[in-house]
Amino acid sequence: MHLSYYTTVALAFSIYISGIIAIVRFKQIPEKYRPFVYLIWIGCINEVISVYLAFRYHNNIICSIIYTLIESLFFLWFFKKLKLFDGRNKKWLYFLVVLFVGIWIANSFFTDSFATDITYYFDIVYAFCLVILSIRVINNLLFTERDLIKNPAFLICIGLVIFFTYQIIQRMFGLAGLKSSYEFRSNVQVLLYFINFLVNLIFALAVLWMRKKQAFTLQF
């Protein structure tokens, strides 16, 4: 299966659905979801810059690598807002920040990957941690929420589990250096584009359900 470059760009730009909804409804979005909203907007800007670099210099790898570090730190901020790192778990937040930044620096500047390839080690570690954190949030919500489909945190975490689980599999193929056919590698990449599109739609639904709780007033 092969997609044209413009089709892949169109699929990637589906993140703008969430971005636009967030702009329209920003005043109604609770504080705990703000890191996610900011990340959506950063993602929108990143897509524009990536397309520009691809057309201008035929290479947007550096832009993508820098974005992954920003993305990882914003997601940690988001999980902190969800109180996943409260109490004795606060040390895990500091540990993950140091882990992400340390691996990113080592993988980007002490190998040739920053100039020529994707930072596989960082992507795998980062994706694995996000999947674990997302599953923890989902597990907590299963016991506290009734209508999960309308819970933004649940939808966001479901999207993260879907996307990053597949990303781990894809990166493992590349890291292992498996000698597969071009058609197989192409199909794996194309599937990632469609999974990204699906997850962007899930994120849009999550942003749509973000609303502040209304104060309860007695009616006379």
pLDDT digit string, tens, across residues 163-216: 999 999 888 877 665 555 667 777 888 899 999 999 999 999 999 999 876 544
Q: What is the pLDDT of residue 217?
A: 39
pLDDT the model gives residue 141? 93
Indicate if the alpha-carbon torsion angle 205, 78, 53, 189 is positive or negative.
negative
Mean pLDDT over 63-79 rounds to: 94
C-alpha 183/C-alpha 192 separation (Å) is 14
pTM surpassing 0.85?
Answer: yes
pLDDT grade for 116, boundaries at 50, 70 and 90: very low
- pLDDT at position 176: 65
- Contact of 133 with 79, CB cutoff 8 Å: yes
Give the helix ranges, DSSP H, for the chain.
Answer: 5-12, 15-24, 34-57, 61-81, 90-109, 113-116, 120-142, 152-176, 182-208
Question: In the chain, pLDDT over 90 holds for what percent of residues?
Answer: 60
pLDDT of residue 137: 95
Please report the pLDDT score of residue 182 as a whole number. Answer: 64
Q: Based on C-alpha coordinates, what's the Rg of the chain? A: 19
Give residue 215's pLDDT.
44
Q: What percent of the chain has pLDDT over 70?
A: 88
pLDDT for 139 equals 94
Mean pLDDT of the residues in the chain: 87
pLDDT for residue 114 is more than 70 = no
pLDDT band at 77 (very low <50, low <70, confident <90, very high): very high
Position 108 pLDDT exceeds 80: no
Residue 49: enclosing H or E segment and its boundaries?
helix 34-57
Greatest mean pLDDT among 13-17, 51-55, 87-91 lies in 13-17
Q: What is the pLDDT of residue 168?
A: 92
